[in-house]
Structure 1
Amino acid sequence: MRTPLFSMLLGLGLLTACSAEPAAPVPAATLADSQDTVVTIGDVTARATVMPTTMLGSLVAEKYGIRRADDQVMLLVGLRRGEASAEISVPARIVATASDLRGGRRPIELRELSSGELMDYVGTVQVSLPDTLKFEIEITLEDGARKTMQFTRDFQPQ
């Protein structure tokens, strides 16, 4: 099942060949190597996706202020409430960090990214390829409910 966050991410990645800047990300077909991590906090679904910034089209990267580079990955976090066809964004306080296998821990500064009526949080982190990063995302909803997401991703030179 595709989600708006997943579709937005795919649209960002597949806009590489576009010659004009789009008004908003365009939904696209499933990207085989995309890996989402999902947790629920009550009736809210939190989804985190990490991808190399080189997968972004240059116009999209420029529009959202993201540097495309082999040594940089993007973290995208979205929080939604409701059915897939009628989801709404849920605001939250999010603190994200990435740790490498040598124990180096780096904070990931997240900022809001709007696409139509939906809002997500996006940030980037530098990697030294090949690398394995453990991501930890602490989510606090406005009502005080909390959850921590943890997952690991491997990054290889392309």
Structure 2
Amino acid sequence: MTDAARRAAMALLVGLGLAGCGSGAPGPAGNHAQAQLEASARIGDVIVRVNAVPTASLGEAVARQYGIERSNRTIMLLVGVRRDDGNGNETALPARVAAVATDLLGKRQQPAMREVRSGEFIDYVGTASVIAPDTLRFDIDITVEGGPAMELHFNRDFFPDRP
């Protein structure tokens, strides 16, 4: 299979597999339940994990680690790119990550994705605005140094905090 065919197949599979992520109403925990949702994709031994969470639900230490200001109107997009050695061990991979977040009205934002290192791990972090309730569609392009290019597409619902 050619690289272009592999990328097209991966984009289709990921789009279909992740289309429903976050589509249900939050449970009793409210926005905290959304923090548990993670989208992931794999090409060969490369795994990409993506999460989008309201920054208000982040603990102070986590917000500080990622350099994020906590707010009810901001979400954090977190992307991790890892190589799986087949034995359950993962190694962080450098990558170029670009993202677009689009709300239900079609307003597009391009979160500036920046690299954050924590020990041996590398994450890519960006923020986008949201006025809940809303649904954001994320289109993420990941290019692994010396490896495959991937496109991930998924939706995430955001709800206002409930008392």
What's the TM-score once normalised by structure 1's chain length? 0.75
Instruction: From 46, 55, 70, give the equivalent of 2:48.
Output: 46
Q: CA deviation at 1:96?
A: 0.5
| Distance (Å, rounded) in 2 between the aligned partners of 1:96 and 1:88 | 23
Instruction: Find the counterpart in structure 1 of residue 58 from structure 2.
Output: 56
Greater relative contact order (CA < 8 Å, ≥ 6 in sequence): 2
Q: Count how many residue pairs are aligned between Structure 1 and Structure 2.
A: 128
Q: Note closer, same or farther for the CA distance 1:45–1:102 as it changes in structure 2 (3 Å cut).
A: same
| Distance (Å, rounded) in 1 between the aligned partners of 2:65 and 2:146 | 32
| Distance (Å, rounded) in 2 between the aligned partners of 1:41 and 1:76 | 19
Instruction: Find the counterpart in structure 2 of residue 80 from structure 1.
Output: 82
Instruction: Find the counterpart in structure 2 of residue 4 from structure 1.
Output: none
Q: CA deviation at 1:130?
A: 1.1
Instruction: From 147, 155, 159, give the equivalent of 1:156.
Output: 159
Q: Note closer, same or farther for the CA distance 1:131–1:111 as it changes in structure 2 (3 Å cut).
A: same
Q: Note closer, same or farther for the CA distance 1:85–1:137 as it changes in structure 2 (3 Å cut).
A: same
User: Root-mean-square deviation (CA), in Å?
Assistant: 1.7
Does residue 107 of structure 1 match 2:110?
yes
Q: CA deviation at 1:84?
A: 6.6
| Cα deviations by residue, 1:22-77 (Å, 9 ceiling, x for unpaired) | xxxxxxxxx85411111112210001011111121223323431010000111110
- 8 Å contact from structure 1 (residues 94, 138) kept in 2: yes
- 8 Å contact from structure 1 (residues 130, 156) kept in 2: yes
% identity of equivalent residues:
46
Instruction: Name stretches of at least 5 consecutive residues in structure 1 with no aligned partner.
Output: 1-30
Instruction: From 55, 66, 73, give the equivalent of 1:71.
Output: 73
Instruction: From 78, 93, 118, give the equivalent of 1:90.
Output: 93
| Distance (Å, rounded) in 1 between the aligned partners of 2:87 and 2:93 | 14
Q: Note closer, same or farther for the CA distance 1:118–1:63 as it changes in structure 2 (3 Å cut).
A: closer
What SS class does the counterpart of residue 63 from structure 2 fall into? helix
